[in-house]
Amino acid sequence: MSGLYRACLRPLLFAADAERVHVATLRAAGVLGRSALGRRLISARYGFDDERLHVQVGGLRFPNPVALPAGFDKNGVATEALAALGFGAIDVGSVSARPSAGNPERPRLHRLPADEGIAVFYGVPNDGAAAVAARLAGVRLPVPLGLSLVETNTGRPAGVDEVIAELVQAARTVLPVADYLALNLNCPNSAGGFSHFDVPAHLRRLLQALAEVDGLGPVFVRVSPPAHPAGIDAVLQALDPFDFVKGLSFFDPRFDLRRRLKTPAAELAAKRGSVSAPVALSHTQALVREWYRRIDRRRLVLIGVGGITTAEDAYRTIRLGASLVQVYTALVYQGPGVVREIKRGLAQRLARDGFASVAEAVGVDNRAAVPR
């Protein structure tokens, strides 16, 4: 199917404006996923299950470790189809306390075909936490549903207290429909593009405020990784008192992906925004390797995200220390069959190497890691 998608469907989709295709794809998937027949058709075509792939993290059961990160289904309109497609978990969002139209620029989503990448300058448009929670209220998925939270992009930077109050409000609003929360604490395309929560004391204050929220479930935090080990330890210390924090993923604003692309500089200059592309993989794996050595592995897991496009990428990232991986851009370039391909390849590799589960493979190539 991947070949058919690349040869036939992708050229058609890529001929149209990227944001319109994104919206139209979600709308079509939403319609298909709403009917039991539609979901059956999708899983008959794309489903793949293997016991080895089952993962338990933060008290949640994931049927496989290949999850969809935030940014694809921003408003929770197609979760049923995406679950039928075979993702092990789905992050809806990022969603903010108040609705936002995102950045006013158009176009604000660009393909970078020479790099199989995407440049995004959406600025987290979303319907707002209340509307998204209402939409998801009746939805029952066979996989964990995460709600990714972000500050509202108003076009101007907000103070840390205001952002904390907003994130807490958004958390309260979506909790009834979420199996877990994912905190997007460093959105590169939001006002000012900086994060208060790079300051560990601010992160701690945010988590203290969240700790007061009734019924809070597992929380995963997307942090910007500090450059030095002492900075990493400061982040980990800030998280330490809060046992509802179950895992970490990374977005590294210091890593200049643009410099590593094949896309000509002149073409790139016209495409503003944060870049996702397979060339990010080595950095993703370096982060997983480094953080796995420093986290308390009895209570935290790592989620590998950025540049994962194949089963081998996913497997290597798991062997370096990730318990889950997330895949977005590969879905756009390889089509819906990529989820099954990665899962099948993962199951084959686990069997080949004598692992009965993903958990057994996590971190085996990170031998310098001190057992914790």
Ligand X SMILES: Cc1cc2nc3c(=O)[nH]c(=O)nc-3n(C[C@H](O)[C@H](O)[C@H](O)COP(=O)(O)O)c2cc1C
Mind telling me the catalytic residues? 187
φ, ψ of residue 62 to 5 degrees: the values are -110, 130
Helix axes of 281-292 and 229-239: crossing angle, nearest 10 degrees: 70
Q: Which of 163, 302, 308, 324 binds ligand X (CB under 6 A)?
A: 308
Question: Please, which residue, 43 or 186, has the CB nearer to ligand X?
Answer: 186
Closest approach of ligand X to the CB of residue 7, in Å: 22
Token duo for residue 327: 């895949």
If one asks whether residue 70 binds ligand X (CB under 6 A), the answer comes out as yes
Closest approach of ligand X to the CB of residue 325, in Å: 9
Closest approach of ligand X to the CB of residue 93, in Å: 6
| 361 class by beta-carbon count within 10 Å (0-12 exposed, 13-18 middle, 19+ buried) | buried
The site map against ligand X for 34-63 (x = CB under 6 A) is ------------------------------
Token duo for residue 244: 């509802």
Closest approach of ligand X to the CB of residue 241, in Å: 24
How many Å apart are CA 241 and CA 191, to the nearest integer?
A: 30
If one asks whether residue 327 binds ligand X (CB under 6 A), the answer comes out as yes
Closest approach of ligand X to the CB of residue 367, in Å: 27
Q: Residues for the chain: how many in total?
A: 372
How many Å apart are CA 299 and CA 304, to the nearest integer?
A: 17
Question: Please, which residue, 163 or 327, has the CB nearer to ligand X?
Answer: 327
If one asks whether residue 109 binds ligand X (CB under 6 A), the answer comes out as yes
Question: Three-state SS across 119-152?
Answer: EECCCCCECCHHHHHHHHCCCCCCCCEEEEECCC
What H or E segment, with its residue span, contains residue 216? none
Q: Which stretch binds ligand X (CB under 6 A): 3-11, 238-246, 305-313, 364-372?
A: 305-313
If one asks whether residue 303 binds ligand X (CB under 6 A), the answer comes out as no
Question: Please, which residue, 171 or 355, has the CB nearer to ligand X?
Answer: 171
Binding to ligand X (CB under 6 A) within 172-231 occurs at 184, 222
How many Å apart are CA 199 and CA 127, to the nearest integer?
A: 29
SS3 of residue 236 by DSSP: helix
Q: Binders of ligand X: how many residues, by CB under 6 A?
A: 24
How many Å apart are CA 82 and CA 90, to the nearest integer?
A: 7
Question: Please, which residue, 181 or 330, has the CB nearer to ligand X?
Answer: 330
Q: Which of 97, 305, 318, 324 binds ligand X (CB under 6 A)?
A: 305
Question: Please, which residue, 301 or 330, has the CB nearer to ligand X?
Answer: 330
Question: Please, which residue, 83 or 119, has the CB nearer to ligand X?
Answer: 119
Binding to ligand X (CB under 6 A) within 132-171 occurs at 148
E strands within the chain? 55-57, 60-62, 66-67, 90-95, 109-112, 117-120, 145-149, 180-184, 219-223, 245-250, 274-276, 301-305, 322-326
If one asks whether residue 311 binds ligand X (CB under 6 A), the answer comes out as no
E strands within 44-116? 55-57, 60-62, 66-67, 90-95, 109-112
Q: Which of 322, 329, 341, 358 binds ligand X (CB under 6 A)?
A: 329
Closest approach of ligand X to the CB of residue 214, in Å: 25
On the CB side of 175, CA atoms within 13 Å amount to 16
Question: Please, which residue, 39 or 169, has the CB nearer to ligand X?
Answer: 169
Closest approach of ligand X to the CB of residue 281, in Å: 8
Token duo for residue 306: 């950025």
Binding to ligand X (CB under 6 A) within 232-291 occurs at 276, 280
Residue number of the CB closest to ligand X reads 71
Where along the sequence are the contacts to ligand X (CB under 6 A)? 69-71, 74, 93-94, 109, 118, 120, 122, 124, 148, 184, 222, 276, 280, 305-308, 327-330
